Amino acid sequence: MGADIHAHMEIKWDGEWLYYSPVDIGRNYHLFARMADMRRCYDIEPIAENRGIPEDASTMTRIHCEKWEGNGHSHSWLNSQEICQLFDEFKVIPSSWHKDFDFLDEFPGLYLFGNSFKGFFKYPEDAPEKLKDFRLVFWFDN
């Protein structure tokens, strides 16, 4: 039985976390291990231990999460800097890992209001004034 990820991008807009978009990430256990120590059968250090769903998660993210009730597990999230780190690492990955990484080229949340994740930090003047941050909230099911 395999594990699938359910991922949702949230933005901090004028001080409040709002739902931005679902994120379609294919099944890749190297990525899952790096994101949240999921299926850790590789020698990969997770960016962060599982943090649970943020207390201030958006209503829409909570609705998606509640749908999975007892079948969802290993709930966590990555902040904006961790997402950029993950993206950089998996853009240059060992060829033996190169499976299901097409999502990096078509990551629905890859652009926030016309600017890339990294552009959020590099060109903050291009971001809408009320956009203060972003994060990826996710969990897995078997």
Residue 120: the pLDDT is: 81
Nearest to 87, CA basis, from 73, 106, 68: 106
Does 17 have pLDDT greater than 80?
Answer: yes
d(CA 101, CA 97): 9
Assign 41 a pLDDT band (cuts: 50, 70, 90): low
Whether the Cβ atoms of residue 10 and residue 21 lie closer than 8 Å to each other: no
Q: What is the pLDDT of residue 10?
A: 94
Residue 131: its H or E element: strand 131-141
Q: Mean pLDDT of all residues in the chain? A: 81
φ, ψ of residue 58 to 5 degrees: the values are: -65, 155
Distance between CA 24 and CA 109 in Å, rounded?
Answer: 9
CA distances from 113 to 23, 30, 91, 116, 136 (A): 15, 29, 22, 8, 16
Over residues 17-40, the mean pLDDT reads: 83
How many separate domains does the chain show?
1
pTM: 0.83
Please tell me which residue, 53 or 99, carries the higher pLDDT value.
53
> Residues 62-119: pLDDT tens digits?
999 999 887 888 899 999 999 888 877 776 444 444 444 444 544 444 567 777 777 7
pLDDT score recorded for residue 37: 75
Residue 75 domain boundaries: 4-141
